[in-house]
Amino acid sequence: MEKIANYIDGQFRAPVAGKYLDNINPSIGEVYSLIPDSDGDDVQLAVEAATRAFEGWSSLLPDKRFAVLARIADLIDRDADALALAESIDQGKPVKLAKSMDIFRAGANIRFYATGAMHFSAEAHATGVEAVNYTLRSPVGVAGCISPWNLPLYLFTWKIAPALAAGCTVVAKPSELTPMTAYLFTKLCQEAGLPQGVLNVVHGLGPKVGQAIIDHPGIPAISFTGGTVTGKKITTTAGPMLKKLSLELGGKNPNIIFADADFDQAVATSISSSFTNQGEICLCGSRILIERPLYEKFVKAFVAKTKELVIGDPLNEATRIGALVSEAHMNKVLSYIDLATKEGGTILTGGKRVTVSGRCAKGFFVEPTVVTGLPANCRTNQEEIFGPVVTLAPFDREEEALAMANGTSYGLSATLWTSDLTRAHRISSQLKCGIVWVNCWLYRDLRTPFGGTKGSGVGREGGWEAMRFFTEAKNVCIRL
Ligand code: NDP
Domain range for 78 is: 2-249+456-479
250 CB near ligand 1 (under 6 Å)? yes
223 lines ligand 1 (CB under 6 A): no
Q: What is the 3-state secondary structure (H, E, C) of 397-421?
A: CHHHHHHHHHCCCEECEEEEECCCH
Would the CB of 167 count as within 6 Å of ligand 1? no
Helices 421-430 and 398-406: angle between axes, nearest 10 degrees: 30
User: Is 26 contained in some domain?
Assistant: yes
Residue type, 185: F
Mark whether 238 and 371 lie in a shared domain.
no
pLDDT of residue 335: 98
Mutate to test the pocket of ligand 1, among 21, 90, 150, 203 (most ligand atoms within 8 A of CB): 150
**Is 50 inside any structural domain?**
yes
Longest Cα–Cα distance of the chain, Å, equals: 78
Residue 170 lies in a domain: yes
Looking at ligand 1, which residue's alpha carbon is closest to its atom 20? Answer: 210
Angle formed at CA 182 by CA 141 and CA 101, multiple of 5 degrees? 110
* Position 53 in a domain: yes
In ligand 1, the atom with minimum distance to the C-alpha of 233 is: 18
Phi, then psi, of 16 in degrees rounded to 5: -55, -45
| Dist. CA 66–CA 64, nearest whole Å | 5
Regarding whether 300 and 242 lie in a shared domain, the answer is no
To test the pocket of ligand 1, the residue of 37, 146, 448 to mutate (highest count of ligand atoms within 8 Å of its CB) is: 146
Structural domain includes residue 292: yes
Residues 406 and 468 in one domain: no
Same domain, 184 and 316: no
- Choose among 361, 350, 360: nearest CA to 385: 350
Q: 170 with 142: CB under 8 angstroms?
A: yes
CA of 330 to the centre of ligand 1 (A): 16
What is the reported pLDDT for 348? 98
107 belongs to a structural domain: yes
Amino acid of residue 380: T
| Residues near 453 by beta carbon (within 8 Å), at least 6 away in sequence | 411, 412, 432, 433, 434
Number of structural domains found in the chain? 2
In a domain, 425, yes or no: yes
Do the Cβ atoms of 319 and 348 come closer than 8 Å? no
413 Cβ closer than 6 Å to some ligand 1 atom: no
Query: What's the CA-to-centroid distance between 273 and ligand 1, angstroms?
Result: 21
Asked if 36 and 176 sit in the same domain, the reply is yes
Which residues neighbour 171 within 8 Å (Cβ) at sequence distance 6 or greater?
A: 43, 46, 47, 50, 142, 143, 144, 145, 200, 202, 213, 216, 219
Q: In 10 A of CB 111, how many CB atoms?
A: 21
- Three-point CA angle 153, 158, 159, nearest 5°: 105
Same domain, 113 and 49: yes
Please give the number of the atom of ligand 1 that sits closest to the Cα of 329: 26
CATH code for the domain of 110: 3.40.605.10
DSSP class of residue 388? S
The Cα–Cα gap between 317 and 320 comes to 8
Looking at the fold, whether 331 and 388 belong to one and the same domain comes out as yes
Q: What's the pTM?
A: 0.96
Closest CA to ligand 1's atom 40: 248
466 and 394 in one domain?
A: no
pLDDT in tens, the chain (480 residues): 899 999 999 999 999 999 999 999 999 999 999 999 999 999 999 999 999 999 999 999 999 999 999 999 999 999 999 999 999 999 999 999 999 999 999 999 999 999 999 999 888 999 999 999 999 999 999 999 999 999 999 999 999 999 999 999 999 999 999 999 999 999 999 999 999 999 999 999 999 999 999 999 999 999 999 999 999 999 999 999 999 999 999 999 999 999 999 999 999 999 999 999 999 999 999 999 999 999 999 999 999 999 999 999 999 999 999 999 999 999 999 999 999 999 999 999 999 999 999 999 999 999 999 999 999 999 999 999 999 999 999 999 999 999 999 999 999 999 999 999 999 999 999 999 999 999 999 999 999 989 999 999 997 767 888 999 999 999 999 999
Task: Establish if 451 belongs to a structural domain.
Answer: no
Q: Do 333 and 437 share a domain, yes or no?
A: yes
368 close to ligand 1 (CB < 6 Angstrom)? no
Task: Tell whether the torsion through CA atoms of 128, 129, 131 and 135 is positive or negative.
Answer: positive
Residues 6 or more apart whose Cβ sits within 8 Å of residue 232? none
Same domain for 325 and 240, yes or no, is no
The single-letter DSSP state of residue 432 is: -
- Residue 376's Cβ-side half-sphere holds a number of Cα atoms within 13 Å equal to 17
Cα separation of 267 and 264, whole Å? 5
> Do both 181 and 131 map to the same domain?
yes
Atom of ligand 1 nearest to the CA of 456: 41
36 lines ligand 1 (CB under 6 A): no
Which residue type, as a one-letter code, is found at position 191? E
What separation in Å is there between the alpha carbon of 159 and the centre of ligand 1? 13
The residues assigned a catalytic role are 248, 282
Whether 249 lines ligand 1, by a CB cut-off of 6 Å, is: yes
289 in the same domain as 231: no
Cβ distance 197 to 49 under 8 Å?
Answer: yes
Q: What is the CATH number of the domain that holds 273?
A: 3.40.309.10
- Closest atom of ligand 1 to 461 CA is 40
Would residue 64 be called left, alpha or beta, if left means φ above 0 and alpha means ψ between -120 and 50 degrees? alpha
Q: Is 412 near ligand 1, meaning CB less than 6 Å away?
A: yes
The CB of 148 under 6 Å from ligand 1? The reply is yes
